[in-house]
Structure 1
Amino acid sequence: MSGDNAKKALIDSLNGLLADYFALYLKTKNFHWHVAGPQFRDLHLLFDEQAAEIFALTDIVGERVRKNGGNTLTSIGAVAAKTSIKDDDRTGVDALAMVKALRDDNAALVETIRAVKAAATEAGDNATEGMSDDWTDQAEQRVWFLTQILA
């Protein structure tokens, strides 16, 4: 892949990751606000903690797009058009179904991050390539925590 094409592919993959982070943040906050049942307190706090971690990454990823010469997502519509995270607009979701959905979304996010890392390698962006390892570790930790709740 030529240098320009590799850079464009990286920017596109970073914007996809950015969209996924925003969508997963909103989904996690939705579940934080609407969780109910015997595990309310633990899940309410866990979902809030995970949402904060996810939201903190949006600025980092957006700035990687800009540092690579691209434009970031500009609106909710742009996020919706680019994300692979499925919406869940329900407010009465069973607590364990919330946990399973977030576990599955975070596991899928790991694959998206791996694709970003591959694109960064192709484009010669060692900063994004290195950061992606931390992003992967964070997503895998969220998957682990959520999986243990379902065990």
Structure 2
Amino acid sequence: MSEVEPFVAGLNDNTRHKVVDLLNDRLADTISLTLAVKQAHWNLKGPGFIGVHELLDDVADRLRESSDLIAERAAILGGFARGTTEVVAQKTTMAAYPVEEHDIQVHIEALRERFVDVGQKIRAAIEEAGEAGDDDTEDLFTEVSRQIDKDAWFIAANAPLKGNAQTA
């Protein structure tokens, strides 16, 4: 990390460097998740289309807000936000999203899996930021975690209930 004047007091250089790396790791996953949501939004078809289609636009907007919080925190700490497509493609830990899929239920399940995965990594980042001594970044990740969990729930609520087979 190039030395840039940090805009926060009370964090040593080692903590700042560690937290900026952590922020950038989760930034890559959050951007990747945003792109997966848009991929589903553009391509899904099936019962309940319009509701899910519109929901995914709102979810993508909230994910972009979360990405912005994460990226700005990295800059505030004197680092650089690394959110280009090249960096995201290299650093994301999220599983690749299917690009040739139409079935709405396949998209819902694929998104649910990725929201759970990214949510777990964000929760781990909460703990890592706390252990590093950066309470503000810990709080930021908590805020992002809550939104990811809520959006995962919104998306998954569109899946058929298991054990409720309909008979003709």
Q: CA RMSD in A?
A: 1.6
> Whose Rg is larger?
2
> How many aligned positions are there?
149
The 5 A counterparts of 1:51-130 are 51-130=60-139
Q: Contact 2:27 / 2:83 at 8 angstroms: preserved in 1?
A: no
| Residue-by-residue CA offset, 1:32-88 (whole Å, 9 max, x unaligned) | 111111211011011111111101111110011112222221521111111112232
Bigger helix fraction: 1
TM-score (norm 1): 0.89
CA distance in 2, matches of 1:93, 1:49: 20
Structure 1, unpaired ranges of 5+? none
Matched, 1:27 2:46: no
CA distance in 1, matches of 2:16, 2:137: 12
TM-score (norm 2): 0.81
CA distance in 1, matches of 2:142, 2:33: 19
Aligned AA (2:146) = D
What is the aligned-residue identity percentage?
Answer: 31
CA distance in 1, matches of 2:83, 2:23: 14
How much has 1:5 moved relative to structure 2? Answer: 4.1
